[in-house]
Amino acid sequence: MRQKENTADDSRTEQLKNEMAALEELREELEQAESIGDTRLSELFHEARTADTDIYSGATCILGLEDEAYPTDVIKTRPGEHLRDNPGFAAVSCPAKPFMTSERFVDIVDEQLWSIIDSKQNTLMTLQD
C-alpha cells in the first residue's frame, strides 16, 4: 500500500514541477515579448481590452498543458460569474479595461502567474514532507 502512495506522490510531484515550469516559461514569454500579439495570451489581452464594460467585468484564459502551457479557451466574464468546470491546470484573468496598456496587462497577468506558481510550490512542499 505504501508503494502505491509513493508512486502517486511521485507522479503528482512531477506534474506540479511540469506545471510550474510551463507557467514560468509563459511569464518569461510575456516579459520578453515586443508585442502582446506575439504571445500565447494575445487573445486574453484583446478580449479584456474590447469587452463591453456595461456587460462584462473581464476575461479569463483557461490554460492547458502539453509540452508547454497553452490557452484552451478565453471567456468573457460577467460580474459575479465563476468558472466552475475549469478543464485546465490553471486560469488567468484580466479585468475589462478599454485601452489598457500592454505593460499593465503584463503586470496583472504576471502577478497571477506568480501566485499560481507559489500555490503549486506550497503543494509540492507538502507532498515532499
pLDDT at 6: 65
Name the pTM for this structure: 0.88
Query: Is residue 94 within 8 Å of residue 79, measured between CB atoms?
Result: no
DSSP code at position 56: -
Q: Which pLDDT score is estimated for 85?
A: 75
Task: Give CA–CA dist 106/100, Å, rounded.
Answer: 10
Sequence ranges of the domains in the chain:
2-122
Q: Please report how the helices 102-128 and 42-50 are oriented relative to each other, as an axis angle in degrees rounded to 10.
A: 120
Q: What is the pLDDT along the chain (129 residues), one digit of tens a residue?
A: 455 556 767 888 999 999 999 999 999 999 999 999 999 999 999 999 999 999 999 999 999 999 899 999 999 999 988 777 777 899 999 999 999 999 999 999 999 999 999 999 999 999 887
- pLDDT value, residue 127: 85
3-state SS, 23-48, equals HHHHHHHHHHCCCHHHCCCHHHHHHH
Cα gap 103→110, rounded to integer Å: 10
pLDDT at residue number 5 = 56
